[in-house]
Structure 1
Amino acid sequence: MATVEVEIAARRYAVACRDGEQEHLREVAAIVDRKAQDAGTALGSLSEVRQLLFASLLLADEVKEHRAGNPVAPDDDSGRIADALERLAGRVEALAQRLEGEA
């Protein structure tokens, strides 16, 4: 078992992985870090937790689009990112309202 140090949202993490998967882990960590930076740029000052939350939402949005046959170009601009974050924020707010109504 290997350990790789990665940096995401300006914070370093030691992450374990199988031997031989170190480079793959570094590559996927770099993707998450870029999304966290994109979220911070598009939305301004965010806490680390919210920055990682929006990074994961952006990645999930890309996965969903890809599965629907609409892959997102990797070099899309921050305008698309801001639009995606706004759309995702609306979905999260609607879900929270539904959950509050059920409580």
Structure 2
Amino acid sequence: MVEVAFTIGHKEYVLSAQPGEEKLLKRAAAALDTEARQILEQAGRMPEQRLLLLAGLMLADRMGGMEDRAEKAERELSRLQSNPQKVEVPVIPDDLKEAMAELAARAEAAAERLEDRLGR
């Protein structure tokens, strides 16, 4: 076991963790600390148990919202995968391509004639 130290709402804690889990514990503690600090900024000092309870509830609420969004995204993905929409790519007819190429050639020729007249 490894001991991990962290702070939540201005109080130091030390917990034991399995080797390799230190980073996860520190990340979770940092999330809880962020919520706790916001509570302390708004409400001022309060008992440690209440602070941890409120911070935990705020995180649970945020997680619930994320779960709802993830479920909605998964449903939309499933719908799209089961019923993919066909996308039609417009095809330019050959005669239109030729006409556009002819217009481009005429425009280039006109530009060259104009440059010659202007002496460039």
TM-score (norm 1): 0.61
Q: d(CA) in 2 for partners of 1:40 and 1:13?
A: 18
> Which residue number corresponds to residue 69 of structure 2?
69
Cα shift at 1:44: 3.0
Alpha-carbon displacement from aligned partner over 1:56-91 (angstroms, at most 9, x marks no partner): 110010011111117xxxxxxxxxxxxxxxxxxxxx
Cα shift at 1:30: 0.9
Cα shift at 1:39: 1.1
For CA contacts below 8 A with separation 6 or more, give which structure has more relative contact order: 1
> Which residue number corresponds to residue 60 of structure 1?
60
Change (3 A) 1:14 1:45: closer
> Which residue number corresponds to residue 25 of structure 1?
25
Q: What letter is aligned with 1:54?
A: L
> Which residue number corresponds to residue 77 of structure 1?
none
> Match of 2:69, SS?
coil
Percent of paired sites with the same residue: 30
Structure 1 stretches of 4+ with a deviation exceeding 4 A read none
Q: What letter is aligned with 1:25?
A: L
Q: d(CA) in 2 for partners of 1:28 and 1:43?
A: 23
> Which residue number corresponds to residue 42 of structure 2?
42
Q: d(CA) in 2 for partners of 1:45 and 1:10?
A: 10
Higher-Rg member (1/2): 2
Q: What letter is aligned with 1:16?
A: S
Q: d(CA) in 2 for partners of 1:24 and 1:37?
A: 20
Give unpaired runs (5+ residues) of structure 2. Answer: 71-120
Give unpaired runs (5+ residues) of structure 1. Answer: 71-103
Aligned length: 70
Q: d(CA) in 1 for partners of 2:67 and 2:24?
A: 22
> Match of 1:49, SS?
helix
TM-score (norm 2): 0.53
> Which residue number corresponds to residue 14 of structure 1?
14
Q: What letter is aligned with 2:23?
A: E
